[in-house]
Amino acid sequence: MERENNTQVSEFLLLGFSETQEFQPFLFGLFLSMYLATVFGNLLIILATITDSHLHTPMYFFLSNLSFADMCFISTTIPKMLVNIQTQNKVISYAGCISQMFFFMLFAALEDFLLTVMAYDRFVAICHPLHYMVTMNPQHCVLMVLGSWIMTALNSSLQSSMVLQLSFCAHLEISHFFCELNQMVHLACSDTFINDIVIYFATGLLGVGPLAGILLSYSKIVSSICAISSAQGKYKAFSTCVSHLSVVSLFYCTSLWVYFSSAGTYNTYSNAPASVIYAVVTPMLNPFIYSLKNKDIKRALKIFFRKNL
């Protein structure tokens, strides 16, 4: 019976910001601008790290991967939302919804893991500088990024495959601008107990676990910085962490705020505006934070544009 119901589902409705019809042109322009700024800003960081040999270091290798994840992260939601606003059509196909959910979870978790790896990189650089080149050699860096991809892909595959087993009988309206896992699960008319257990377990493993790793790394970093005798040495050590700390704070503060503020409100419109900060604003601000705080990035971009313009 569940298999029969599953085959009847052909589409969902993404309600998003549909209650504010008079603001649709403004929203289209706003999100298009944010999307273009995100893609352009992250492309510049990737371009700088590729073209400048001085940036061929573990820190900038991880940063370029984070920029790629940011571009993919925002590309899973905004293009479809822009099409829906422009065409005044809220429909997304069943296959499209599952695909969007899969890639959103993939790149959100990947960003989480990359921020953790970057925190570990700063920990080794500041707390164990003599062992840095050995610990963070190219092979280890590639393995850490590859491991992040594998773990996030496995989680997304598991979650998506479990949603595929659910049956959706009626009320296929998603009060969001993208197909979000929790809302998808709570739209099902079949039993979702196992899905909820897996979601809670994955949240702890892929959310709380990396956050604990970041906090542990920075607690060690702070202790090491405080032990430095000279004020100049403290400033130099701390300045290498400012950009990453800013991105970590932005990512976790917004995502946790969205998570707790939207708990238990699956059928309201409150999730959509709150999630804009987590899913759109954060990827857009990341490249600006790194480029404004990082002299190496700015120098590499100046050299590139001077040679090519």
Question: What's the pLDDT tens digit per position in 141-163?
Answer: 999 999 999 999 999 999 999 99
> Helices marked H in 2-56 — which ranges?
2-8, 24-51
Domain with 154, as residue range(s), is: 2-308
Q: Which residue has the higher pLDDT, 28 or 8?
A: 28
Phi, psi of 134 (to 5 degrees): -80, -45
Q: How many CA atoms lie within 13 A of 289 on its CB side?
A: 22
Assign residue 85 the CATH number of its domain.
Answer: 1.20.1070.10
Task: List, as own/partner pairs, every contact residues 86-92 make where C-beta atoms lie below 8 angstroms and the sequence separation is at least 24, other chains included.
Answer: 86/28, 88/24, 90/13, 90/14, 90/15, 90/16, 90/18, 91/11, 91/12, 91/13, 91/14, 92/11, 92/12, 92/13, 92/14, 92/179
Helix, coil or strand: residue 263: coil
Domain count, the chain: 1
Break the chain down into helix, strand, coil percent, rounded to 5: 80, 5, 15
* Cα gap 135→54, rounded to integer Å: 19
Which of 56-65, 70-79, 116-125, 296-305 shows the lowest mean pLDDT across its residues?
A: 296-305
pLDDT band at 282 (very low <50, low <70, confident <90, very high): confident
pLDDT band at 8 (very low <50, low <70, confident <90, very high): low
Contact 264, 135 (CB under 8 A): no
Give the pLDDT of residue 21.
72
Buried b (16+ CB within 10 A) or exposed e, 215-247: eebbebbeebbeeeeeeeeeeebeeebebbbbb
Phi, psi of 122 (to 5 degrees): -65, -35
Helix, coil or strand: residue 171: coil
DSSP 49-100: HHH-GGG-SHHHHHHHHHHHHHHHHHHTTHHHHHHHHHHT--EEEHHHHHHH
Q: Strand pairing partners for 11?
A: 93
Instruction: Give the tokens for residue 275.
Output: 């999630």
Contact 3, 164 (CB under 8 A): no
Q: What is the mean pLDDT of residues 36-44?
A: 94
Instruction: Give the tokens for residue 90.
Output: 């809220």
Residue 252's H or E segment, with its range, is helix 231-261
Give the pLDDT of residue 18.
63
Q: What is the pLDDT of residues 87-108, one digit of tens each?
A: 888 899 999 999 999 999 999 9
Q: What is the pLDDT of residues 242-280, one digit of tens each?
A: 777 888 887 887 777 766 655 544 444 556 666 787 788
Q: What is the mean pLDDT of residues 4-23?
A: 69
Give the pLDDT of residue 39.
95
Q: What is the pLDDT of residues 162-186, one digit of tens each?
A: 999 998 876 688 888 899 888 888 8
Residue 11's H or E segment, with its range, is strand 11-14
Give the pLDDT of residue 169.
77
Is the pLDDT score of 41 beyond 80?
Answer: yes
pLDDT band at 204 (very low <50, low <70, confident <90, very high): confident
Q: Beta-carbon neighbour count of residue 131 at 10 Å? A: 11
The DSSP letter of residue 266 is T
Entry pTM: 0.89
Q: Is 264 left (phi over 0), alpha (psi -120 to 50) or beta?
A: left
